[in-house]
Amino acid sequence: VSIGPARLRDGALHGRGVLVVFEDVTPVEKAGQMRRDFVANVSHELRTPLTALMGFIETLKGPAREDPAAAERFLSIMEAEASRMNRLVGDLLSLSRVEADERMRPAERVELGALLRASVAGLAPLASEAGVTLIDALPEETDGPLVPGDADQLRQVFSNLVENAIKYGGAGAEVRVAMDAPAYEPRLRATGVRVRVADTGPGIPEIHLPRLTERFYRVDSHRSREMGGTGLGLAIVKHIVNRHRGRMRIDSTPGEGSTFSVVLPVD
Ligand code: ADP
Cα separation, 223 vs 233, in Å, equals 15
Alpha carbon distance, N-terminus to C-terminus of the chain: 50
Q: Which of 236, 245, 240, 246 is nearest to 215 (CA)?
A: 236
Ligand 1 pocket check for 164: Cβ under 6 Å:
yes
Atom index in ligand 1 nearest the CA of residue 165 equals 23
| Contact of 150 with 267, CB cutoff 8 Å | no
The region that residue 238 occupies, defined by phi over 0 for left and psi between -120 and 50 for alpha, beta otherwise, is alpha
User: Ligand 1 pocket: which of 92, 163, 168 to mutate (most atoms <8 Å of CB)?
Assistant: 168
pLDDT in tens, 26-39: 888 888 888 888 89
Average pLDDT over residues 185-210: 92
ipTM: 0.98
Nearest alpha carbon, ligand 1 atom 8? 231
Ligand 1 pocket check for 265: Cβ under 6 Å:
no
Ligand 1 pocket check for 175: Cβ under 6 Å:
no
- C-alpha 15 to ligand 1 mean position (Å): 63
Q: Which of 135, 169, 162, 136 is nearest to 233 (CA)?
A: 162
pLDDT in tens, 115-172: 999 999 999 999 999 999 999 999 988 888 999 999 999 999 999 999 999 999 999 9
